[in-house]
């Protein structure tokens, strides 16, 4: 991991003045954000503030109306880019897992690498089993998604995204749909991932995770970045009144 890098190449993701409208609804109003290699950036903020929309623009699931998105220095928000190749470099995990219900856990993991990279079945399977071991689900390879708990399904979804060897992983409230007792196992996997050096952009309401794992916390509301900084500052001694309000409300919840 210590290969010589070009100057500035340690910026994995740069968002510059991102605007997004759904028809009349102006959801993102000039968001700028940088995620550096190995960094864990935690995105917090009230519901409806545009966090999911922002992640979707990075995964080019949602085209932006203005601004630029650079992935490892390459503009991905311009027309004419190959969206599928970009998505291979950006892993995304959703709140509702979205596993493929008709495939076993193992096939959920190997499907895309085999299709996209033409990876031989045996190799893909070896990597899949390694990743399953990493998320603590070795014995579930032959199971179907509906035979797993929500926490297990979400860990499979993380492993599925990792199969593509992404440069950055996006997490959109991946523990929000889980029973409280299952949240920990998923956060644990994410913590290990962060420790292994993965670059991560994480939307979450888990303030403990933001504090312990985040290198940077960004508060987004009404489509703009209200405040950003190290967790010790943003979460403990916020500069903005808006942040203070939001934190007060989540601590009561």
Ligand X SMILES: Nc1ncnc2c1ncn2[C@@H]1O[C@H](COP(=O)(O)OP(=O)(O)O)[C@@H](O)[C@H]1O
Residues that bind other proteins (CB under 8 A): 59, 61, 83-85, 87-92, 94, 96, 98-102, 111-112, 115-116, 144, 146, 160-161, 163-164
Q: Closest distance between other proteins and the C-beta of residue 209, in Å?
A: 22
CB 127 within 8 A of CB 159: no
Cα–Cα distance, 29 to 182 (Å, whole number): 35
Answer with the entry of other proteins, Mg ion, ligand X, none that 196 interacts with (C-beta below 5 to 8 A by kind).
Answer: none
CB 183 within 8 A of CB 151: yes
Q: Which residues is 244 bridged to in the sheet?
A: none
Q: Are strands 40-44 and 216-221 parallel, antiparallel or unpaired?
A: parallel
Considering the complex, state which of residue 137 and residue 178 has its C-beta at the smaller distance from ligand X. 178
CB 69 within 8 A of CB 77: yes
Binding-site member from 18, 43, 45, 52 for Mg ion (CB under 5 A)? 52
52 sits near ligand X (criterion: CB under 6 A): yes
Cα–Cα distance, 214 to 217 (Å, whole number): 6
Considering the complex, state which of residue 101 and residue 120 has its C-beta at the smaller distance from other proteins. 101
Q: Closest distance between other proteins and the C-beta of residue 115, in Å?
A: 5
Cα–Cα distance, 133 to 64 (Å, whole number): 38
Q: Closest distance between Mg ion and the C-beta of residue 172, in Å?
A: 6
155 sits near ligand X (criterion: CB under 6 A): no
């Amino acid at each position: 991991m210590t290969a010589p890098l070009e100057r500035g190449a340690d910026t994995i993701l740069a968002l510059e003045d991102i605007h997004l409208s759904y028809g009349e609804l102006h959801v993102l109003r000039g968001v700028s954000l940088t995620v550096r290699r190995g960094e864990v950036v935690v995105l917090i903020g009230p519901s409806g503030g545009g966090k999911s929309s922002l992640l979707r623009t990075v995964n080019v699931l949602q085209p932006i109306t203005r601004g630029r998105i650079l992935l490892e220095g390459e503009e991905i928000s311009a027309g004419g880019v190959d969206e599928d190749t970009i998505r291979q470099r950006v892993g995304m995990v959703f709140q509702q897992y979205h596993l493929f219900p008709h495939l076993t856990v193992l096939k959920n993991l190997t499907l895309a690498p085999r299709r996209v990279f033409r990876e031989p079945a045996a190799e893909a399977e070896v990597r899949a089993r390694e990743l399953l071991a990493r998320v603590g689900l070795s014995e579930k390879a032959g199971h179907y998604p509906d035979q797993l708990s929500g926490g297990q399904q979400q860990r499979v979804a993380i492993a599925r995204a990792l199969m593509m060897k992404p440069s950055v992983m996006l997490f959109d409230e991946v523990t929000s749909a889980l029973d409280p007792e299952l949240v920990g196992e998923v956060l644990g996997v994410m913590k290990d991932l962060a420790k292994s050096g993965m670059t991560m952009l994480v939307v979450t309401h888990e303030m403990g995770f933001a504090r312990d794992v985040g290198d940077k916390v960004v508060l987004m509301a009404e489509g703009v970045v209200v405040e950003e900084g190290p967790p010790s500052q943003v979460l403990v001694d916020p500069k903005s009144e808006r942040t203070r309000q939001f934190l007060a409300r989540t601590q009561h919840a």
